[in-house]
Each structure stands twice: as structure tokens, then as C-alpha cells.
Amino acid sequence: MVVEGVSKSFGDFRALNNVSLEIKKGEFFSLLGPSGCGKTTLLRIIAGFEHPDFGAVTFDGSDVLPLPPNQRQANTVFQNYALFPHLTVFENVAFSMRIKRVSKSEIEAKVNEYLHLVQLEGHAHKKPNQLSGGQKQRVAIARALINEPRVLLLDEPLSALDAKLRQHMLIELDQIHDKIGITFIYVTHDQQEALSVSDRLAVMNQGDVLQIGTPHEIYESPATDFAARFIGETNLFDATVVKAEKMNQPSLPNMDTGVAEYMVELEIPELGRIQVTTVDEVQPGQTVSFTIRPEKIVITKDRPATKRADINLFQGTVDEPIYSGFQTKFYVKVVNKTLIRVIKQHANYSDEGPDILWKDSVYLSWSANDGYIVEVRR
Ligand SMILES: Nc1ncnc2c1ncn2[C@@H]1O[C@H](COP(=O)(O)OP(=O)(O)OP(=O)(O)O)[C@@H](O)[C@H]1O
Ligand SMILES: [Mg+2]
């Protein structure tokens, strides 16, 4: 499925700005972005409920823009389920087949097959108001899939569910996707959801697609400050390049980000000098943004023994520890009162555990390979 140069305005408000995407057959693809960034608008254009001002949408190479929604073989699962309240689960799922005048026995077999797929066999006779939120959502999924669409469009389908059930349904959705193998386009503003199920995702903001990639690519090499901040938690600083040297021994190739060939020294006003490796060359004097993920920073009470030049080391004071069982998040105040977020996993019996406390004096360290230059400004 290809979306090419799609723009859409409502009055003088630009909801989508020259959006292009190529979604592979059978892919679980997510559109991720904050509220109002244009996700639903893009989904509605793909489904045929909305027409773009400019651009093209093709399925398997053929233009679908002239086709009405019911001829596009793209079915949508909405956030609010949109079930028929007076019909049973069975009849809700059977609805589109009844219209097509398919034989009774065929309908029965098909409906049962899809109720089985979404694990609702025992609920066929119930009305929607006798179902839980998760069950309603499964009916909506079965109802969309029974048409055997080429693409299943899911617009924040789990947002009405509580956190535990959302996790559970997400896994089920992933399993359904594996079983039937059609393309899923999944809209969400929840970065954890998007990272955990997608083959690839597009990060959107204010009508623009900022980056397309695998969850790993987007987490490890965000293309913009917005993506770095929006996906996961991070420490982000403006910096100036002081020195950039080609390394004799480039660091190990990373599947997504390539081989880091340059060792760069940055001046960060709030921190001082740090070392970071990069794939692309940068020039002294350039301003960049630098990020280091909280889980990549090692926090210790004792000064680390290593004195390697490529290890960045800071001394600081714990400003706020936030313990949550499997991990602790620390805000650590370092030079110039700059706060750095650090996440320490409590891994196993040899782990020191939550022994680092409020106001403790600590050392933070991370390797030059773990930092990342996000944007080069000039
Ligand atoms: N029919 C419409 N008329 C006017 N403005 C609209 C219309 N539909 C959407 N918009 C505007 O376009 C922008 C994008 O809306 P859209 O529904 O695509 O956002 P979204 O990314 O799905 O957000 P959310 O996560 O809140 O669902 C919003 O600012 C919205 O107000
Ligand atoms: Mg929306």
C-alpha cells in the first residue's frame, strides 16, 4: 500500500502535509503521534471516508481514490467499537455477509470461524451491552476481518480499555495478525504500544511524517528532537561540536544505525565536555542536539575504576529516586544543577538493589557509543 504526497486541509488548517508512506504487504505498521497530528485523518483517507486535496493512495499498484470505502477492501476498527446494540454478537459479525446474500450455512461457518479467532465462541448469543470492553473490541475485530480485507485499519482500538487489558489485547492482536497475515495499519498515540507490536512505524507530528523505521531504529536513532522526546524517555541537550576525528577502530556495526566511525567531542553548556561516536561526519563549530537514554547511564556510589577516554563520567547528587519494583528512576543533579534522568533495572540477586537514596552522592557514567547525535543544525 502506497500513500504518496497526500495533503489535506480543513478550511485553512493543514491536517496533513505532503505525507508519503510505503506499507508492505502483511506488515504490522503503526502511525504514532500526539493527539491532533493527523493520524485519524490519514486512516480515513486510506479507508475512503475522506478525500485528500493532493496525492495518491494505491493498493497493490492500483489507484483506490476513486473507489468508495466498501470497494477498497480495507476495513476499519474504531475506538468506540460501533457495534449494533440490538444485534447479538453473532449477528454483528454476520452483518456484512447477510447483505451480500451468502447462504445460511456459509455464514454460520464463517462467523464461527472468526468468533473462534477472537476467542468469543461462547458469547455468540449475547448482546453488546452484556460484554466487557475487551470482548466488544473483539467483536469489532471479527466483524472487520470476516470481509477478508486486504488491509485492516485500527484507530486507537484499545484506548477505551484499562492498562492490563490493553496489554493483553495487544498480544492477541499481534497473534491474530500472525495467523491471518494481512496488512494491519494501527493508529496510536501510545509509544509503548507502537514499539511493542509494530514491524515498522511512522512518527507523526502536526501533519508531518517525521520518521519511518523499525521500533529499534526509531528508539535508538531518532531523526528529530521530537522523536527522541516522544518515544521513550530521554536526556536531550543542545551542544556544539568541538572536535571530530575518524577512529582507527570503528565501533561494532549496528544493524540499524551502521558503523560509528567518528569520535566527537561536544561542548554542552549545562554539562561541559562529553564524547560521543557518530556514523555521519560532523564539523567543529556545528550545533547539534545530543541524547542519552536514561537506561544507558550507569549509576554507582563508588567511582568507576575504568579511566577510558570514551567513558563519560559525572559526579552528582540524587535529587529524586522513584522506585517502581523492577527499576528505580533517578533524577540526578550534576554540574550547574543540571538534572539527568537515570534508570536502573533491579536485575538479580547480585544486584545492589535500591540502595541508592535521596541526597546520596553518586557517579554517572556512559560510553561514547551509547550517546547519540540527533539533529545537526548547521
Ligand atoms: N472534519 C474536520 N473538520 C475540521 N477539522 C478537522 C476535521 N477532522 C480533523 N480535523 C482537525 O485535523 C487535525 C487532525 O485530526 P485527526 O483526527 O486526524 O488527529 P489524530 O492524530 O487522530 O488525533 P487523536 O489522537 O486525538 O485522535 C486536528 O487538529 C483536527 O481538529
Ligand atoms: Mg484520532
Query: β-pairing, 235-246 with 28-32?
Result: unpaired
* Statement: residue 22 has pLDDT above 80: yes
Best of 12, 37, 154, 187 for a ligand 1 pocket test (most atoms within 8 Å of beta carbon): 37
Residue among 309, 285, 299, 310 nearest 377 (CA): 285
pLDDT (mean) for 195-221: 95
Residue-wise pLDDT for 124-174, tens only, equals: 999 999 999 889 999 999 999 998 999 999 999 988 888 888 888 899 999
| Helices and strands, counts by H and E, the chain | 8, 20
Q: Which residues pair with 61 in a beta bridge?
A: none
* Dmax (CA) of the chain: 77
Does 10 contact ligand 1 (Cβ within 6 A)? yes
Does 258 contact ligand 1 (Cβ within 6 A)? no
Phi, psi at 92, each rounded to 5°: -60, -45
Q: Which residues pair with 316 in a beta bridge?
A: 362
Which of 345-378 are b and which e, b meaning 16 or more Cβ less than 10 Å from the residue's Cβ?
A: eeeeeeeeeeebeeeeebbbbbbbbbbbbbbeee
pLDDT (mean) for 60-68: 95
Mean pLDDT of the chain: 92
Does 15 contact ligand 1 (Cβ within 6 A)? yes
Q: Which atom of ligand 1 is nearest to the CA of 11?
A: 4
Helix axes 89-99, 104-117, angle to 10 degrees: 130
Distances (CA, A) of 120 to 96, 111, 136: 18, 11, 10
- Report the pLDDT value the prediction gives residue 349, as an integer from 0 to 100: 61
- Report the pLDDT value the prediction gives residue 156, as an integer from 0 to 100: 92
Atom 3 of ligand 1, residue of closest alpha carbon: 10
pLDDT (mean) for 208-219: 95
Other residues' Cβ atoms within 10 Å of the Cβ of residue 242: 13
Atom 22 of ligand 1, residue of closest alpha carbon: 40
Does 38 contact ligand 1 (Cβ within 6 A)? yes
Tell me the percentage of the chain whose pLDDT exceeds 90. 76
Cell of 216: 529499534
- Report the pLDDT value the prediction gives residue 324, as an integer from 0 to 100: 87
pLDDT (mean) for 182-190: 95
Query: β-pairing, 151-155 with 183-188?
Result: parallel
pTM over 0.85: yes
- Report the pLDDT value the prediction gives residue 306, as an integer from 0 to 100: 78
* HSE-up (13 A, CA, CB side) for residue 208: 7
Q: Which atom of ligand 1 is nearest to the CA of 31?
A: 21
Other residues' Cβ atoms within 10 Å of the Cβ of residue 335: 12
Which residues have CB under 8 Å from 108's CB, separation 6+?
none
- Report the pLDDT value the prediction gives residue 125, as an integer from 0 to 100: 96
User: Angle 204-206-208 (CA atoms, 0-180°, nearest 5)?
Assistant: 50
Of the pLDDT bands very low, low, confident and very high (cuts 50, 70, 90), residue 58 is very high
Cell of 238: 543542545
Of the pLDDT bands very low, low, confident and very high (cuts 50, 70, 90), residue 254 is low
Q: Which strand (E) or helix (H) includes residue 180?
A: helix 163-180
Does 35 contact ligand 1 (Cβ within 6 A)? yes
Q: Which strand (E) or helix (H) includes residue 192?
A: helix 191-197
pLDDT (mean) for 354-358: 81
